[in-house]
Structure formats: C-alpha cells, structure tokens
C-alpha cells in the first residue's frame, strides 16, 4: 500500500504543476499497489479546485485512482499539530 501526501496528489491533479509528470509516472509505475490517503490530505487536494469551482472534476480524478480513504480518529488533532509544527 502506498499512502500519499497532498503534494503528490496535487501534482497529479494539476497538469501545470512542475511535478505533474513525475507524480503521474510514479502512479502508473506502481499501479498494482493499493493507493491510500487520509481525509485531511484529500481535503488539502481539493482546496485549489474548490477555489475555481472544479471540486467535482478533482473528486472524479481522485476516484479514478481508487484511493482507500483513511479516516482519522477525533483524538489525533493535537498529535497532528505537533507533527506539523515539528
């Protein structure tokens, strides 16, 4: 299983992103693996598309990846903040 951070998914979604080709090539190379992302990461990926009214299109492209969506327990917020602050 490959668990993605937002950077890879954002690059894959945006053809003009400097890392689009690399992100897409990586996904194609490892297409036999399960792909996953947590719900916070998915929300991060949708910020820019939402800004331009393109959330539905971005969600459809993410759905094509058949991502396993990883839910996060409610009590991890403080731990996540510490990781982000680190």
pTM for the whole thing? 0.81
Whole-number Å distance between alpha carbons of 13 and 49: 9
Q: Could you tell me the two tokens for 79?
A: 């731990």
Q: Residue 68's pLDDT is what?
A: 95
Looking at residues 53-77, what average pLDDT do you find? Answer: 91
Residue length of the chain: 86
Least confident of 5-9, 44-48, 65-69, 79-83: 79-83
Whole-number Å distance between alpha carbons of 40 and 37: 8
Cα angle 32, 15, 50; round to 5: 100
């Amino acid at each position: 299983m490959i668990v993605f951070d937002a950077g890879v998914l954002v690059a894959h979604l945006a053809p003009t992103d400097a890392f689009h080709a690399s992100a897409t090539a990586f996904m194609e190379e490892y297409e036999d693996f399960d792909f996953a992302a947590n719900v916070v990461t998915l929300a991060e990926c949708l910020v820019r598309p939402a800004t331009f009214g393109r959330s539905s299109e971005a969600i459809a492209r993410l759905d094509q990846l058949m991502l396993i969506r990883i839910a996060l327990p409610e009590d991890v917020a403080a731990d996540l903040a510490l990781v982000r602050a680190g």
